[in-house]
Amino acid sequence: MRRLRYLNFMLTVLAVLLALNVWTAWSAAPPLAESAWAQGIPDAGAQRQQIIDELKKLNKTTDKVKDLLTSGDVIVQVREEQD
């Protein structure tokens, strides 16, 4: 019976210490958004817009290559590889 009381007491003390540890960590930490900006993490929306712009450039280049190939100005010759 005495061991059970001791165990309950120690578990309670540990729970209180863990709760205090979590509380101090949350109260001392800056908000996540501010810490992300402090670390130099760029805006996700700006990254997506940059990706969209790059994809538009890639589509234009692909269209130019497609137009060149369909125009008939490109001649493809197949040669047999010589050993």
Q: Which pLDDT does position 74 carry in this prediction? A: 84
Structural domain contains residue 56: yes
Structural domain contains residue 83: no
CA dist., res. 55 & res. 49, Å (int): 10
Compute the mean pLDDT over every residue in the chain, rounded to the nearest whole number.
85
User: What does the block give as tokens for 44?
Assistant: 């996700």
Question: What is the mean pLDDT of the segment spanning 12-34?
Answer: 82
Structural domain contains residue 36: yes
> 43 is in which domain, residue-wise?
2-71
CA dist., res. 56 & res. 34, Å (int): 32
Question: What is the mean pLDDT of the segment spanning 68-75?
Answer: 87
Domain count, the chain: 1
